[in-house]
Structure 1
Amino acid sequence: MANASQARFNAEAAAWDSNPVTVQSSALAYKSLLERIPGLNTKNPREDGLDVLEIGCGTGLLSFSLHPHIRSLIGVDTAAGMIDVFASKAASRFPATSASASSAANIAAVNVLLADPDDFLLQEAAALARQGRVERPARFDLVVSHLTLHHIPDMAAVLKTVFGCLKPGGRVALTDFEDTGPEAVYFHPEEKREGVERHGIKSEEMERLIGEAGFEDVKVERAFVLEKFVEEEGRERGFPFLICLGRRPA
């Protein structure tokens, strides 16, 4: 049975890409990644680009922006409705009869709760590879997520899973809005707060948890500010976003 968050995202999936705030947020996250992850700027991404895992990929707003810069991308999401939209977009952008059809082979998404890295890599990713949709990487070069961390009950467990999904030397880059105090609750309208585990993330806490998961070169910094209308206040408010970075030791 879907929890409150899954039910909401399933219901909103079809109209997700028409929300200008959602689109802008993903665009700002994309820009932040390009500025901080050198491997996304290679000249020949299909040959020497990164294999990417996106946690909480949703409809693929960030995924399809990253697509020209990577070798492969697998997205995971627990909301089946979001995955359906993702698949529909992939089919529309890369129809089987078009010259660009081969591009579809390096991007796909699965409806799964990622818990055990080996289980996921051996089953879900391998299944995609058998379908010819994604060349199965043994591990990933980069794990990203955007606006997913605040829905995660056990942050430490997820970060350990992320660590296990990465190749030695692989990187993590996670973006979410910052817990700046009581006002952070306004990021979500009141009717959408059920199922939200935390109202933003805290810099010092994320630095500690990422380090405890085994990462080095840990850095958590402010990446951008998203302007969003707050219904309860009747005005625009700027919500700062953090980007959480780390590297699995080589």
Structure 2
Amino acid sequence: MSEWDAYADQWDDDERVIHYSQQAYQSLTQAINCDGLTILDFGCGTGRLTELLHPQAKRIVAVDSSAKMIGVLAAKNLPKAEPLAIDMNSGNSQPMHNAFDLIVASSVCAFLPDYQASLALFRQLLKPQGYFVQWDWQKEAGDPASGFTAEEIQAAFDQCLFKTISLQQAFTMQQGEDEAPVIMGIAQKRDQTG
């Protein structure tokens, strides 16, 4: 049972979740033409981003470790979506190697136990020249809060043989009295030599 299961029933009604997914979708489609792509929505939750991408995509594999979140998505009956409740970091992704044009991870990577190991896995799952896009809370150097600095994402992309296409603040979210910035990283799979 995933710790996220408890949030599944109310997730789609949360205004912050709705706003975050809409902003992520808008920033994605301004940067990448998603028409006809095979997409992996990693850490998809109840599939708010999957729903937005569904009309354009050729196929979306929507993966989350929370079976209850995936159950909410499955009930939406999106014909081009394949909801899967699996932990991809436990070796369940072998059949999907070199399968995707695009992998998206919306507010997920900061929660991963090993961000770089997950990036290395995403690289294996992407087709040549495929794209990886992440959105996470942006933090300043030395800040203990959850999230990433641009430098941390850049270093991880470099280490895992991704070419950085863009790394910038994509939008902000209201957090109490403050505006919290969300950083968007877009990277492209490169070959071992390039």
Q: TM-score, normalising length from structure 2?
A: 0.90
Normalized per residue, which structure has more helix? 1
Which of 64, 81, 96 is matched with 1:107 structurally? 81
Partner of residue 34, structure 1: 29
Q: Which runs of 5+ in 2 are unaligned?
A: none
Work out which of the residue numbers 97, 115, 119 in structure 2 matches 1:155: 115
SS class of match (2:9): helix
Q: Is the 8 A contact 1:140 1:170 kept in 2?
A: yes
TM-score (norm 1): 0.71
Unaligned runs of 5+ in 1: 95-103, 126-136, 186-198, 230-235
Bigger strand fraction? 2
Q: Shift of residue 200 of structure 1?
A: 1.2
> Could you tell me whether the CA contact under 8 Å between 1:178 and 1:184 is conserved in 2?
no
**What's the CA shift string for 1:142-199, capped at 9, x where partnerless?**
00010101111111100000000000010111111112368884xxxxxxxxxxxxx1
Determine which of 163, 180, 184 is the counterpart of 1:243.
184
Q: How many Å separate the matches in 2 of 1:30 and 1:121?
A: 28
Deviation by residue 1:123-146 (Cα, 9 ceiling, x = unmatched): xx6xxxxxxxxxxx9510000010
Residue type at the aligned position of 1:165: L
Larger radius of gyration: 1
The answer to whether residue 193 in structure 2 is matched with residue 227 in structure 1 is no
Residues 1:213 and 2:186 are matched in the alignment: no
Tell me how far 1:217 sits from its aligned partner.
3.5
String of CA shifts for 1:96-130, please: whole Å, max 9, x gaps.
Answer: xxxxxxxx0x212101111377x5252xx6xxxxx
What SS does the corresponding residue of 1:57 show, helix, strand or coil?
A: coil
Q: What's 1:120 paired with?
A: 93
For 2:158 and 2:141, locate their aligned partners in 1 and report how far apart those are by CA, in whole Å: 24
CA distance in 2, matches of 1:145, 1:58: 10
Where do residues 13-92 of structure 1 align in structure 2 (5 Å cutoff)? 13-37=8-32, 39-40=33-34, 45=35, 49-90=36-77
CA distance in 2, matches of 1:84, 1:75: 11
> 1: distance between equivalents of 2:129 and 2:93?
20
Kindly provide the amino acid, as one letter, of the partner of residue 155 in structure 2: R
- Residue-by-residue CA offset, 1:222-241 (whole Å, 9 max, x unaligned): 11111132xxxxxx210100
